[in-house]
Amino acid sequence: MLWTHKILWIATLVSAFAFLGMTVDSLHRMSASTHADQLSAQVIEGKRVWQHYDCNDCHTILGIGAYYAPDVTKSYSQRGAPWLRKFLENPAAMYPSGRQMPNFHLSSAQIDSLVAYLGWVSRIDTNGWPPSPEGVTPAEDAQRAAGGELAGSKIYLAQGCNACHTIQGSGGTIAPDLTHVGSRRNKSWILAQINDPRRINAQSVMPSFAQLPESAKQQLVDYLDSLK
Amino acid sequence: MRYKSQRIAREYLLAALMLFLLQVVFGILNIAKYIWGYDPLLNVIPFNVSRAIHINLLVFWLLLALMGATYYMVADELKTEIYSAKLGRLQLGILLLSGVAAIVGYLFQWNFGMPFLEQPTVIKLAIVVAALIFLANIGLTMFKNHHTLTRMTATLLGGMVMLAVMFLFGIPFMDNLSTQYYYWWWVIHLWVEGAWELIAASLVGWALIKVTGVSRRRIEGWVFAEVCLVLLTGIIGTGHHYYWIGTPHYWLWWGAIFSAAEPIPILMMLVDTVRHMLGARTLRSVNTLGLAWLGASAFVHFMGAGVWGFGQTLPQINRWTHGTQITASHGHFAFWGAYGMLAIALMYVILPELSGRDTEHGGKVGFTAFVSLNFSMIFMVMALLIAGIIQVYFQRVMGMEYLQVQSYMRMWYAVVLVAGSIFFVGTVLVLSDLLRLSRPIRTAEHVSEPEPETVPGD
Q: What would the pLDDT profile of B134-155 be if each residue is shown by its tens digit?
A: 999 999 999 999 998 998 999 9
**Quick check: B303 and B337 in contact, CB under 8 A?**
yes
> Per the CB < 8 Å rule, is A68 touching B247?
no
Is the ipTM here above 0.95?
no
Q: Say how far apart CA A165 and CA A95 lie, in whole Å.
A: 11
Contact A4 B225 (CB under 8 A): yes
Q: What is the pLDDT of residues A145-201, one digit of tens each?
A: 555 567 888 888 888 888 888 888 887 777 889 999 999 999 999 999 999 988 878
Say yes or no for a CB contact (<8 Å) between A129 and B244.
yes
**Minimal C-alpha gap between A141 and chain B (Å):** 14
CATH 1.10.760.10 fits A38-122, yes or no: yes
H or E stretch including B67? helix B47-78
Angle between helices B47-78 and B196-212 (to 10 degrees): 50
Residue ranges covered by each domain of chain B: 4-439
**pLDDT band at residue B276 using 50, 70 and 90 as cut-offs:** confident
Contact indicator for B15, B36 with CB cutoff of 8 Å: no
Out of B51, B228, B320, the one facing A131 most closely (by C-beta) is B320
Class of residue A36 by CB neighbours under 10 A (exposed 0-12, middle 13-18, buried 19+): middle
Residue from B301, B320, B284, B322 nearest B399 by CA = B320
Q: Which residues are registered as beta bridge partners of A166?
A: A171
Q: How far apart are CA B448 and CA B458, in angstroms?
A: 21
Q: What is the pLDDT of residue B210?
A: 87
A:B CB pairs within 8 Å:
212
Q: Which residues of chain A lie closer than 8 angstroms to B111, CB-CB?
A: 51-54
Low-confidence ranges of chain A (pLDDT < 70): 1, 135-149
pLDDT of residue A152: 86
Q: Does residue B449 register a pLDDT over 60?
A: no
Say yes or no: do domains A38-122 and A138-225 share a fold.
no
Dihedral angle of Cα B134, B90, B113, B338, to the nearest 10 degrees:
50
For chain A, give every domain's residue range.
38-122, 138-225
The reply to whether residue B399 touches residue A52, judged by beta carbons under 8 angstroms, is no
Other CB atoms within a 10 A radius of the CB of residue B151 amount to 18
Q: Is residue B438 very low, low, confident or very high in pLDDT (cuts 50, 70, 90)?
A: very high
When scoring A117, A127, A154 by the number of chain B Cβ atoms within 10 A, the one with the most, hence best to mutate, is: A127
Residues B108-112, mean pLDDT to the nearest whole number? 95
Could you name the CATH architecture of A138-225? Sandwich (2.60)
B4-439, CATH topology level: Cytochrome C Oxidase; Chain A (1.20.210)
- B397 and A54 in contact by Cβ < 8 A? no
